[in-house]
Amino acid sequence: MSSTIALIIIGVAVLFIIGIKLLASPKTARLGNLVAAAGMLVALLTLHKPTGEYVWSQGWTMNYTLIAIGTLIGLVIGAIGAYSVKMTAMPQMVALFNGLGGGAAALVASLEFIKPDREITTFIAVTMLFATLIGSLSFSGSIIAYLKLEGKFEKPMTFPGQNILNGLILLVILGLGVYLAGWGANATAFIVMFLLALFFGIAMVMPIGGADMPVVISLLNSFTGLAVAADGFAINNLAMVVAGTLVGSSGTLLTLLMCKAMNRPVTNVLFGAFGSGGGGGKGGAGDLGGKTVKPIQADEAALLLGYAQQVVIVPGYGMAVAQAQHQVRELSDELGKRGVEVRFAIHPVAGRMPGHMNVLLAEANVPYDQLCEMEAINPTMDRVDVCLVIGANDVVNPAAREDKSSPIYGMPIIEADRAKTVIVLKRSMAKGFAGIENHLFYKDNTRMLFGDAKASLQTLIAQLKAS
């Protein structure tokens, strides 16, 4: 490798690192994305073969025509996907792009592995097999995650002995991998391993519930990063090693951060379908005794809101389902005009994706300095006059604080129950994703406003405007 190429690769690596760094802060995030994209462009324009030849100065063969056509097709697919997707469906789109990247990583490694007349070390063979395995697992797993978030098969699919079966498949895959690495390429063994890896990706994601998909996508994202890094080793491309590794390690950390926000160990997400794990659900209901919920009518709720000084809105998945973010913004503006201080309390895992609520509210033009994180809002909750809970459930359940037998005990929550009055907008008394009773609904200071969130909000806005 000439020193010029080495310098360019260092530059590319620095652009990626700065890009990720800037992405981690709200003010600079968009710039960070552009910096990383610039790094990618530099890497493309200066792409060299492992032998040191400049890729774009070779004679224009049929292969180059195919490269141009393929890149163009991918560009069109990517652009259509990125610009046509609804804000609520962003997570799926990320899963899909991630799956495609994993598929590409697997194909590149496979092609290198089956190349005839090659002399490779065992180490390089291992990196190729690793990239094939992880890449195809990430491909099929991401497709399943995509379908789950699209609502295709939302329920976790489990059967007895599932983890044992998955373990056996994994063993067979590893056995085939060792055989292929040690004893050379065998087409049948390679194809069987490839297919098993695809199947394993499906089997791994299938039992996991829809609400845990963010963690799964983040994990598969870091997997794809590692597969790309392994590909970089295999075809001796340093930029791929650096980029893939950065994604692999930052993705792993991000996965852990997401799990931490839900107060669940990552193993629990991957191997224990939520709610089915040991006797959880029944703990909650018992000590509620004969308490009943207290409904409220829209006009009274509007009165309470209109004459409050401080209002906190807690959005949840129900707001996303009802597509009510624009009405929420309208309500908040209306209250703002009357001099009411409105803040939004965002739980890290409200919705289906960390940041899900932020994206939705931003789409509705809620200024992001009005959005508060859970840690910032909780200490001020005692001074709040009305806490308006819109389609959130488990993230405001005080059982996480009070009931040791509850499956969500210990999860950090937004302490909505400490506000003077809590108004809960809810379609019915259905349970949240965790499948447990919400103690908040039975508190003395809680009123329930039943109905579709969007319709309820429209009524509230109309009442406020009229008064």
Partner 1 sequence: MDTNVLFIFILAIFIGFEVISKVPSMLHTPLMSGTNAIHGIILFGGILVLADAAAPLARTLGFIAVIFGSANVFGGFMVTDRMLQMFKKKKK
- Smallest distance, partner 1 to C-beta of residue 91, A: 7
- Contact residue for partner 1 among 195, 257, 285, 429 (CB under 8 A): 257
Shortest separation between residue 95's beta carbon and partner 1, angstroms? 9
Binding mask 102-141 for partner 1 (x = CB under 8 A): -xxx-xx-xxx-xx-----x-xx-----------------
Q: Which of 115, 140, 143 is nearest to 128 (CA)?
A: 115
- Residue 21 is a binding residue for partner 1 (CB under 8 A): yes
Nearest approach in angstroms of CB 114 to partner 1 is: 8
Q: Give the nearer residue to partner 1 in terms of CB position, either 14 or 171.
A: 14
Nearer to partner 1, 273 or 349 (CB): 349
Q: Is 20 in the site for partner 1 (CB under 8 A)?
A: yes
Size, binding site for partner 1 by CB under 8 A = 118
Taking the complex as a whole, the smallest distance from the CB of residue 22 to partner 1 amounts, in Å, to 9
Query: Degrees (nearest 5) of the Cα angle 138, 25, 369?
Result: 120
Find the shortest distance in angstroms from Cβ 225 to partner 1. Answer: 5
- Considering only residues 367 to 396 of the shown chain, the ones binding partner 1 according to CB under 8 A are 367-369, 371, 373
Instruction: State the catalytic residue, choosing from 212, 231, 394, 417.
Output: 394
* Contact residue for partner 1 among 4, 7, 24, 186 (CB under 8 A): 24
Catalytic residue list contains 394: yes
Nearest residue (CB) to partner 1, 163 versus 380: 380
Query: Which of 258, 259, 345, 408 contacts partner 1 by CB under 8 A?
Result: 258
Q: Which residues from 141-160 bind partner 1, rule CB under 8 A?
A: none
Nearer to partner 1, 345 or 449 (CB): 345
Q: Which residues contact 220 (CB under 8 A, 6 or more apart)?
A: 95, 98, 99, 102, 137, 138, 141, 142, 145
Which residue type does 199 have? F
Applying CB under 8 A, the span of 90-98, 156-164, 309-317, 445-453 interacting with partner 1 comes to 90-98
- Based on CB atoms, which residue is closest to partner 1, 247 or 270? 247
Q: How far is the CB of 162 from partner 1 (least distance, A)?
A: 27
Neighbours of 107 (CB within 10 A): 16
SS (H, E, C) the chain: CCHHHHHHHHHHHHHHHHHHHHHCCCCCHHHHHHHHHHHHHHHHHCCECCCCCEHHHCCCCHHHHHHHHHHHHHHHHHHHHHHHCCHHHHHHHHHHHHHHHHHHHHHHHHHHHHCCCCCCCHHHHHHHHHHHHHHHHHHHHHHHHHHHHCCCCCCCCCCCCHHHHHHHHHHHHHHHHHHHHHHCCCHHHHHHHHHHHHHHHHHHHCCCCHHHHHHHHHHHHHHHHHHHHHHHHHCCCHHHHHHHHHHHHHHHHHHHHHHHHCCCCHHHHHHCCCCCCCCCCHHHHHHHCCCCCCECCHHHHHHHHHCCCEEEEEECHHHHHHCCHHHHHHHHHHHHHCCCEEEEEECCCCCCCCCHHHHHHHHCCCCHHHEEEHHHHHHHHHHCCEEEEECCCHHHCCHHHHCCCCCCCCCCCCCHHHCCEEEEEECCCCCCCCCCCCHHHHCCCEEEEECCHHHHHHHHHHHHHHC
Binding mask 36-65 for partner 1 (x = CB under 8 A): xx--x--xx--x-xx----x--x----xx-
Query: Least Å distance between CB 234 and partner 1?
Result: 9
Binding to partner 1 (CB under 8 A) within 62-81 occurs at: 63-64, 66-67, 69-75, 77-79, 81
Instruction: Give whichever of 259 and 387 is closer to partner 1, judged by the CB atom.
Output: 259
Which one among 5, 11, 42, 87 touches partner 1, defined by CB under 8 A?
87
Give the nearest distance from C-beta 444 to partner 1 in angstroms.
Answer: 31
The torsion defined by the Cα of 452, 84, 353 and 107, in degrees rounded to 10, comes to 150
Establish if 82 lies at the interface with partner 1 (CB under 8 A). Answer: yes
The residue among 173 and 246 lying less far from partner 1, judged by its C-beta, is: 246
* Closer Cβ to partner 1, 74 or 175, answer by number: 74
Residues within window 208-247 making contact with partner 1, judged by CB under 8 A: 214, 217-218, 221, 224-225, 227-229, 231-233, 235-247
Q: Which residues are catalytic?
A: 394
